[in-house]
């Protein structure tokens, strides 16, 4: 039994949103500006495109989170039938692993979804360690329903054994030549990814008119227009996935020049 006093709180206000992303507060974050952008995004979209739960200590400190939306409101690069939960992100701070907190948070979340007659939970896992790795979900009885590049779509049934979910067609086509065209889709849902967006803005200035940067704010309309919910596309290729240092971002551009 762990002796820490905790409680689970469903996000309901802008002040809740300003405590989001405990993944960035385990140690002093190297990306404070990215964290601010993401907290503001949740504040502006809470109850519309994002919902969430926080696991908090008695002091109020957030040590775990789950962020999600229902499929009919989710900004998600798949066509999904209604009343399916889309799990965006979850995290338990590393120092609290092994104490059962992750299971407690997940149990409350899944119980609420089941009581609301939600059909099941979809999550887009990745091949990358520490970034919603798909193996973590396979161990929790999620099943892979489709795969696309480094991403895998997984489903956990609650009230319906199978789900209709089809990847959107990506409308950002690969190209060659100069100027190099960079399209950034800003969903502001992950500080790890937004950190690369912010560094990219500075690096692009070094190349003058040899590089054209287009930043797109994620909305239901732009999701349809571009067929993706996030990413940095350099001449149509997604070469960066978040958290890259400045030199790696610069090199990704130079490879296209």
Q: Is residue 175 part of a domain?
A: no
Helix (H) or strand (E) segment spanning residue 155? strand 151-157
Q: How many domains does the chain have?
A: 2
Q: Is residue 110 part of a domain?
A: yes
pLDDT at 150: 79
Q: How confident is the model over 207-235, as pLDDT tens digits?
A: 999 999 999 999 999 999 999 999 999 99
| Burial status of residue 95 (CB atoms within 10 A of its CB: 0-12, 13-18, 19 or more) | exposed
Domain boundary among 134, 167, 200: 167
Q: Is residue 20 part of a domain?
A: yes
**Same structural domain, 163 and 184:** no
**Same structural domain, 148 and 27:** yes
Q: Is residue 1 part of a domain?
A: no
pLDDT at 1: 43
**Same structural domain, 19 and 117:** yes
* pTM for this predicted structure: 0.93
**Same structural domain, 161 and 219:** no
pLDDT at 223: 96
Q: Is residue 82 part of a domain?
A: yes
pLDDT at 241: 83
**Same structural domain, 75 and 147:** yes
Q: Which residues of 100-131 are buried (b: 16+ CB within 10 A; e: fewer)?
A: ebbebbbeebbeebeeeebbbbbbbbbeeeeb
Instruction: With a cut of 50, list the residues of the chain below it in pLDDT.
Output: 1
pLDDT at 28: 82
pLDDT at 2: 55
Helix (H, G, I), strand (E, B) or coil at 144: strand
Domain boundary among 114, 144, 167: 167
Measured from the Cβ of residue 49, the count of other Cβ atoms closer than 10 Å reads 22
* Residues whose CB falls within 8 Å of the CB of residue 98, separated by 6 or more in sequence, listed in order: none
Cα–Cα distance list, 141 to 29, 103, 109, 228 (Å): 33, 13, 16, 26
Asked if 71 contacts 81 with a C-beta cutoff of 8 angstroms, the reply is yes
**Same structural domain, 98 and 147:** yes
Asked if 64 contacts 91 with a C-beta cutoff of 8 angstroms, the reply is yes
Angle made by CA atoms 192, 200, 129, in degrees to the nearest 5: 30
pLDDT at 130: 73
Helix (H) or strand (E) segment spanning residue 87? strand 85-92
Domain boundary among 121, 139, 167: 167
Asked if 38 contacts 20 with a C-beta cutoff of 8 angstroms, the reply is yes
Q: How confident is the model over 156-178, as pLDDT tens digits?
A: 999 999 999 999 999 999 999 99
Pick the closest to residue 41 from 17, 74, 9, 12 (CA basis): 17
Instruction: Give me the domain span that covers residue 36.
Output: 6-167
């Amino acid at each position: 039994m762990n002796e820490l006093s905790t409680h689970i709180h469903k996000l309901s206000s802008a002040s809740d949103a300003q405590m989001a992303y405990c993944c960035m507060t385990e140690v002093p974050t190297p990306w404070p500006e990215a964290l601010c952008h993401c907290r503001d995004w949740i504040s502006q979209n809470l109850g519309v495109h994002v919902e969430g739960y926080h696991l908090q200590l008695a002091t109020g400190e957030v040590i775990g989170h789950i962020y999600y939306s229902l499929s009919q409101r989710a900004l998600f690069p798949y066509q999904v039938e209604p009343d399916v939960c889309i799990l965006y992100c979850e995290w338990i701070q590393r120092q609290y692993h092994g104490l059962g907190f992750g299971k407690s948070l997940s149990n409350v979340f899944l119980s609420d979804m089941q009581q609301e007659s939600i059909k099941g939970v979809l999550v887009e896992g990745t091949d990358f360690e520490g970034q919603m790795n798909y193996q973590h979900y396979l161990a929790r009885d999620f099943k892979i329903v489709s795969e696309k590049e480094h991403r895998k779509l997984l489903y956990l049934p609650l009230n319906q054994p199978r789900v209709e979910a089809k990847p959107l067609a990506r409308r950002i086509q690969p190209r060659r030549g100069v100027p190099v065209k960079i399209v950034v889709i800003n969903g502001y849902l992950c500080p790890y990814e937004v950190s690369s967006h912010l560094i990219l803005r500075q690096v692009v200035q070094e190349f003058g008119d040899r590089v054209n940067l287009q930043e797109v704010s994620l909305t239901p309309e732009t999701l349809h227009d571009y067929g993706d919910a996030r990413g940095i596309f350099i001449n149509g290729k997604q070469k960066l996935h978040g958290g890259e240092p400045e030199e790696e971002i610069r090199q990704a551009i130079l490879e296209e020049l």
